[in-house]
Amino acid sequence: MEKITFEQLQEELYYEKLANGLDVYILPKRGFNKTYATFTTKYGSVDNHFIPLGKEEFVKVPDGIAHFLEHKLFEKEDGDVFQQFSRQGASANAFTSFTRTAYLFSSTSNVELNLETLMDFVQEPYFTEKTVEKEKGIIGQEITMYDDNPDWRLYFGLIENLYQNHPVKIDIAGTIDSISHITKDMLYECYNTFYHPSNMLLFVVGPVDVEKIMNQIKENQAKKPFESQPEIKRRFEAEKKEANEGKKILEMNVQTPKCLLGIKALHHDQSGMEMLKNELTTNVLLDMLFGKSSVNYEQLYNEGLIDDTFSYDYTQESGFGFAMIGGDTSNPEQLVARLKEMLFAIKNGGLTEEALLRTKKKKIGGFLRAVNSPEFIANQFTRYAFNEMNLFDVVPTLEKMTIDEVKRVANEFISEERLSVCQIMPKKK
């Protein structure tokens, strides 16, 4: 077991790679009541074209299957895993993102028992035609719920504009039609391919006895006969550099228009420190441009173009990434025009050392606030690890960042051809 100490943060992290390939991390948090554990596979909605375990040919699976599988893993022959967790005083959940499926519990008692349940339910699938059919109604309602949600439609509308081929443009839950084609055999095929321990990471954070928990995990895993698995072969069609479409307007039953401007990532092949630097620098740039202490923010607010729903963010994964800027606005066209002016103006100067220093301080404080949260630590650490980055490199990387790096990113990243806009407008009566 390896121990990594973060002195400034006064945290310790323990790590071991088990014989079956599973990465296990434990971060003890003293003073906390709850233990939070996530068991995550590097398998999300974008992994829809791959060679199934033991086969030779690529297959394409229905949209929404990773999320469907996440739902179905909770059901067992003898009942529902939610029930078992709550009998053990825990609260359990799961989520599927573009690139990950995570199963988790939090509990303030019976931690070992709950951890055992977590590992076992994820590693013992039980799918039947009957239960698969039943789930279609439930997920159908989840999809319909999102269909009525204007922020969700705006977000996916923009991704669809940015990407032509990459499956990031497909809604994580799929559509009512796409999930109607899912069968139990397909679920097993996806499960067997992506849920091997060598494709997974287990993170435990809370007031735990590290040694004891690590031993428990090892014993649990040693009991299960996993054969070593070859590397998973995924396929993604080539994606052009430019945004696929420049603009889209969706009409919905809303009173206030919504508008997001997006910029497609320039680098689709980064990982590790290179990716961390690029992602962090782009986020610092956005913060200097549009943070609440920026002149731009003040102007947009004074001009009545934004309100407190205004936000901005940049995320990058292997194969895709995007910045998104916007929120509710009474005048989407004018907001877009002003945002573009501000984005392109910054390429000609205006990024100051002073503003960078302030943003760095803000981000460092934000990180301290975030590590109060066991959920943040476990989920973000896993996301970083799957991209060969280390979450705890964030603060040192921020500290080292120079204004020239920010300027370089501004110059290469902001580009008309990779920019797109999506708007939600009130339906005309």
Partner 1 sequence: MTVISESVKEMEGYNLHIVKTEKFKTNTLVWKMKAPISKEEVTLRALLPYVLQSSSKKYPSSTKLRAFLDELYGASFYVDLAKKGDYHVISFALEIANEKFLSDKTPLLRIGMEFLAEILTNPNVANNAFEQDTVEKEKRTHKQRIQSNYDDKMKYSSTRLVEEMCKGERYALHVHGEMDEVAGITAQSLFSYYKKAFSEDELDLYVIGDVSEDEVAAIAHEKIKFSPRQPKLVERSEAVAEREVKTINEVQDVKQGKLNIGFRTNIFYGDEDYYALQVLNGIYGGFSHSKLFINVREKASLAYYAASRLESHKGLMMVMSGIEHRNYEQAVAIINEQMAAMKKGDFSEQELAQTKAVIRNQLLETIDTARGIVEILYHNVVSHQNITLDHWLEQMERATKEDIVKVAQKIQLDTVYFLTGQEAVQ
Instruction: Indicate which residues carry an active-site annotation.
Output: 70
Interaction residues for partner 1, span 320-349 (CB under 8 A): 328, 330
Interface stretch with partner 1, choices 260-268, 341-349, 353-361, 404-412 (CB under 8 A): 353-361
Q: Which of 251, 197, 264 is nearest to 16 (CA)?
A: 197
Distance CA 325, CA 339 (A): 8
- Residue of 17, 33, 274, 400 that binds partner 1 (CB under 8 A): 33
Minimum separation from the CB atom of position 94 to partner 1 (A) = 11
Query: Nearest CA to 37 among 45, 47, 29?
Result: 29
Q: Hey, which residues between 205 and 244 contact partner 1 (CB under 8 A)? A: none
Angstrom distance (rounded) from CA 299 to CA 65: 45
Letter string b/e over residues 113-146, b meaning 16 or more CB atoms within 10 A of that residue's CB: bbbbbbbebbbebebeeeebeebeeebeeebeeb
To partner 1, the closest distance from the beta carbon of 118 in angstroms equals 15
Among 60, 181, 233, 292, binds partner 1 (CB under 8 A): 292
> Site for partner 1 (CB under 8 A): which residue of 255, 348, 404, 428?
255
Nearer Cβ to partner 1, position 21 or 140? 140
Residues 88-117, mask of contacts with partner 1 (x by CB under 8 A): xxxxx-------------xxxx--------
**Secondary structure (DSSP) of 353-396:** HHHHHHHHHHHHHHHHHHTT-HHHHHHHHHHHHHTT--GGGHHH
How would you classify the pairing of strands 23-28 and 200-206? Answer: parallel
**Looking only at residues 176 through 195 of this chain, which bind partner 1 when binding is defined by CB under 8 A?**
none
Among 72, 169, 363, 418, binds partner 1 (CB under 8 A): 363
- CB contact set of 181 (below 8 Å; sequence gap of 6+): 62
List of residues 6+ apart from 420 with CB closer than 8 A: 158, 161, 162, 243, 244, 245, 246, 247, 248, 261, 262, 263, 264
Task: Kindly indicate which of the ranges 46-54, 77-85, 118-126, 226-234 contains the residues binding partner 1, using the contact rule CB under 8 A.
Answer: 77-85
150 binds partner 1 (CB under 8 A): yes
Nearest distance in Å: CB 20, partner 1: 30
Please report how close the Cβ of residue 45 comes to partner 1 at its closest, in angstroms.
17
Binds partner 1 by CB under 8 A, chosen from 304, 311, 333, 337:
304
Minimum Å distance from CB 292 to partner 1?
4
Q: Tell me which DSSP letter residue 266 carries.
A: S
| Shortest Cβ 381–partner 1 spacing (Å) | 16
Give me the amino acid identity at 371. V
Q: Contact between 149 and partner 1 (CB under 8 A)?
A: yes
Q: Where are the extended beta strands (E) located within 8-161?
A: 11-17, 23-28, 35-41, 49-50, 59-60, 75-76, 79-80, 90-96, 101-107
The amino acid present at 339, given as its one-letter code, is: L
Nearer of residues 197 and 374 to partner 1, judged by Cβ: 374
Residue among 128, 165, 215, 309 that touches partner 1 (CB under 8 A): 309
> Of 215 and 311, which has the nearer Cβ to partner 1?
311
Helix (H, G, I), strand (E, B) or coil at 98: coil
Q: Contact between 311 and partner 1 (CB under 8 A)? A: no
Could you give the CA distance from residue 318 to residue 323 in angstroms, rounded to a whole number? 15
Which residue, 17 or 87, has its beta carbon nearer to partner 1? 87
User: Which residue, 176, 189, 95, 182, is CA-closest to 131?
Assistant: 182
Q: Which of 145, 222, 337, 345 binds partner 1 (CB under 8 A)?
A: 145
Those residues with Cβ within 8 angstroms of residue 125's Cβ, 6 or more apart along the chain or in another chain: 72, 73, 187, 188, 191, 195
Q: Total binding residues for partner 1 by CB under 8 A?
A: 71
Name every residue whose Cβ is closer than 8 Å to that of residue 302 and which is 6 or more positions away in sequence: none
Residue of the chain from 56, 231, 302, 404 that contacts partner 1 (CB under 8 A): 302
Which of 352, 372, 402, 411 touches partner 1 by CB under 8 A? 372
Q: How far is the CB of 139 from partner 1 (least distance, A)?
A: 7
